[in-house]
Amino acid sequence: MQSLNSLYFPETILPRHLRNCLLLLPDSLHLLQPVEPTKDTPEVTPADDIFMKQGICQVHTPSLPGKDQERFMRLLNEIRTRKDSFAEQLSSLTLAHLSQETNRGDHSRQAIMSSLLDRQVPADTESEEESKKAELWQARLVLALAEILDREEAELASSLADIDDSELALFQDLKGEEAGGEEGEDDSPLAELMRIKAKINQPRPGTVKRRLQAWKTLYSATTLPENFWFWMTSQEEAAELLINNYETQSGRNGVPLLLLDLPEQIYMRDTDGLENIKNFQEKAATVRRDIIEKLSSIVSKEHLNVVDPVALLPDAGILTRDWNDLIEYCFPEERFGRKKLDLQFLANISLGQLVSGKTTNKLCHSIVALYRD
């Protein structure tokens, strides 16, 4: 059976509940990482390595000299723990940099480089090499700051997941009895809890575009084990930006291939989550093999009808039905919720070309898979 290896973008960490859902289809999920974690990194625990040890999740990091990595990790630790103006200003400068066009003499670049490299870099003498190095440093920092926020939200989401709908309903009844109708609904703790729960995974305005730009910089500096043609994301804006870029460069639209059901959440610890993924893949072996083989065949063909989805994948309806039936059997919607994995075909260009700007004479096709409502 052919393997389906995927690259996840633009986030550089993957919450447990999301990872467990996305890995039901591909054999492996690869992520970029701004800097390699050390044994002193607070978020890293032995339990986090089970998917990596088995090669199911893998991370890739551009090389970083030891002294620079130590300085970078110290800086991140200061940002995590310090609440003074230094951390706030550095975060603001870094995030603001990728939200606008900058020139070689941009002040934010110099401020960040002097902080990271512990020296001053005069704007009027900055070389092209120093400019590229500064851009990569800023991309690392943007993504590392985003990781900190992602982890905080993932922890909160995991805690909120323990409060199911029946408990919320009971809480609502008790609140109504105790408050006697005096407290307004919008001012109640329950209403605030529901607002937090609804917004927990919604990206802040503008952050997806900035993160994608930083991710592209990191991608261009990273050596990957293969040229991934299957990219996954849970950020609709990121998928739209990438597909819009493709449509601008190629002059054609992306072609919808499949719209598969997936659970909305699988809040299981690593060992249990891995066991459930393998159990599902065993039950769905036939339809999963058919999907992977047909996708692999499509991206390897030279002559394709890139306009008609039916011509590209004639039995899409049967594959979708069989897959969705198994998802419902193994992960009932009533318990696990439901989302879609929307597969879009991009002809005659690799996704690496889209983000790096490099050209190649080799014929390439790509698929973007968006995990969405």
Residue range 241-274, pLDDT digits in tens: 999 999 999 899 999 999 999 999 998 888 999 9
Q: Are 310 and 223 in contact (CB under 8 A)?
A: no
Domain boundaries, the chain: 5-61+222-372, 149-199
Share of the chain above pLDDT 90, in %: 43
Q: How many CB atoms lie within 10 A of CB 315?
A: 13
Task: Report the Cα 207 to chain-centroid distance in Å.
Answer: 13
More confidently predicted of 162 and 147: 147
Q: Which helix (H) or strand (E) holds 345?
A: strand 339-346
Give 9-59 pLDDT, tens digit per residue: 999 998 888 999 999 999 999 999 998 876 655 554 444 579 999 999 999
Q: Using 50, 70 and 90 to split pLDDT, how confident is the model at 189?
A: low
Quote the CA–CA distance of 235 and 367 in Å, as a whole number. Answer: 15
CB-hemisphere CA count at 13 Å for 224?
A: 20
Q: Give the type of residue at 324.
A: N
Q: Helix (H, G, I), strand (E, B), or coil: what is residue 31?
A: strand
Give 83-101 pLDDT, tens digit per residue: 555 555 555 555 554 444 4
Q: What is the mean pLDDT of residues 132-152?
A: 85
Residue 277 has pLDDT above 50, yes or no: yes
Tell whether pTM > 0.95: no
Q: What pLDDT, on the 0 to 100 scale, is given for residue 104?
A: 43
More confidently predicted of 41 and 330: 330
Most confident of 180-184, 201-205, 206-210, 299-303: 299-303
Q: Which residues pair with 346 in a beta bridge?
A: 366
Residue 178 has pLDDT above 90, yes or no: no
Q: How many CB atoms lie within 10 A of CB 355?
A: 21
From residue 213, give the alpha-carbon distance in Å to each of 75, 97, 355: 22, 11, 9
Q: Give the type of residue at 323.
A: W
Q: What pLDDT, on the 0 to 100 scale, is given for residue 151?
A: 78
Residue 180 has pLDDT above 60, yes or no: no
Contacts of 153 (CB under 8 A, 6+ apart): 200, 201
Q: How many CB atoms lie within 10 A of CB 297?
A: 11
Q: What share of the chain is helix, strand, coil (3-state, %, to 5)?
A: 55, 10, 35
Residue 201 has pLDDT above 80, yes or no: no
